[in-house]
Amino acid sequence: MAKEVIVSAIQASGNVHIGNYIGAIQQFVKLQDKYQGYFFIADLHALTEPQDPEKLRKQILDSAALYMACGLDPKEAVIFIQSQVPEHTELGWILNTITPLGELERMTQFKDKSKKRKNILAGLLNYPTLMAADILLYDADLVPVGKDQSQHLEFTRTVARKFNSKFGVTFKEPRALLKKEGALIMGLDNPSNKMAKSAQSPNNYIAILDEPNEIQRKIKIAVTDSGKEIKYDPVKKPAISNLLIIYSAMSGKSIKNLESKFKEKTYAEFKSSLADLLVEKLSPIQKEYKRLIENKGELLKVLNNGKEQAQKVARTTMLDVRKKIGLLCE
């Protein structure tokens, strides 16, 4: 029996942080044995923000190396770069032609980001149709998503239904694979906002490639709550609850176990232990990342193999799509 297919991605837009790792990459690693995975570096999506070309090229390779350093195995999953499979943009354009403008303008991400910009570019508006193409190309059964991406996945399901109704059954309607605990890691400097590479303060997040002394410093100054009890309570103690989620995800220990372990400890002792844990867990990832970056030929070979595997599936999908919408295929 064939494995179900999952598809997901990471943008090539800066340092990958522990929020990305806990909320996404850690989950991908666990899923790659059970499912046929397609994991790609979303460099085209990164272009919705201004990019320095040289920096972007570096970030694409950095992201790929980090994927693999974190445990994604090219023998188990297909790892590739989005822009190297042109069928993504072709299908994205075709989906644009059956998508009403109002549907795109109602997307929460578009509304939120457009408020912060004077000049709104079409790429931001059309982000959801490209994301839908990313998913539908590979006949995905499941898409690991956080709550902030759920609306985009629902849009993907909607546009798949619309295409199927108009041109005949072509695409599956992918289901969301939501991670409950730890799906959204909040900022170390403000537990009411999510951990983000775009945060104004670098103290908001811990990058996977942060040096040990930097990890120690950021955890030491991380915001805490009033009182002394180390207890999980997202309403009354959001900062400590966030740190407990991070500790649990990185250690594999339950939050209840951690509450018991640190029952008689101070915030300072708890944070010191968490910092030591992060240094310990991130060290082997950093070493493997360095090895991969220093062996660029090996990294490029993996990405080229991934591109060929992805394109084989994408071409088959697009041949079917072209025939159904009336394009010449000879």
Catalytic residues: 113, 194, 197
DSSP line for 129-172 = HHHHHHHHTTT-SEEEE-GGGHHHHHHHHHHHHHHHHHH-S---
* Residue 71 among known ligand-binding residues: no
Measured torsion, CA atoms of residues 194, 197, 203, 205, in degrees rounded to the nearest 10:
60
* Residue 272 among known ligand-binding residues: no
Burial class (CB in 10 A: 0-12, 13-18, 19+), 10: buried
Distance between CA atoms of residues 82 and 249, nearest Å: 29
Distance between CA atoms of residues 124 and 61, nearest Å: 24
* Residue 83 among known ligand-binding residues: no
Task: Assign residue 14 a region (left: φ > 0; alpha: ψ between -120 and 50; beta: otherwise).
Answer: left
* Residue 309 among known ligand-binding residues: no
* Residue 260 among known ligand-binding residues: no
* Residue 146 among known ligand-binding residues: yes
Residue given tokens 């694409």 in the structure block: 60
Q: How many CA atoms lie within 13 A of 129 on its CB side?
A: 24
Which residue type occupies 256?
Answer: K
* Residue 12 among known ligand-binding residues: yes
* Residue 185 among known ligand-binding residues: yes
* Residue 20 among known ligand-binding residues: yes
Per-residue tokens: 292: 């991969």
Which residue type occupies 131?
Answer: M
List the Cα angle 73/83/70 in 5-degree steps.
Answer: 25
Annotated binding residues, written as ranges, equal 11-13, 19-20, 134, 146-148, 185
**Which residues are annotated binding-site positions for L-tryptophan?**
134
Give binding residues for ATP as ranges: 11-13, 19-20, 146-148, 185
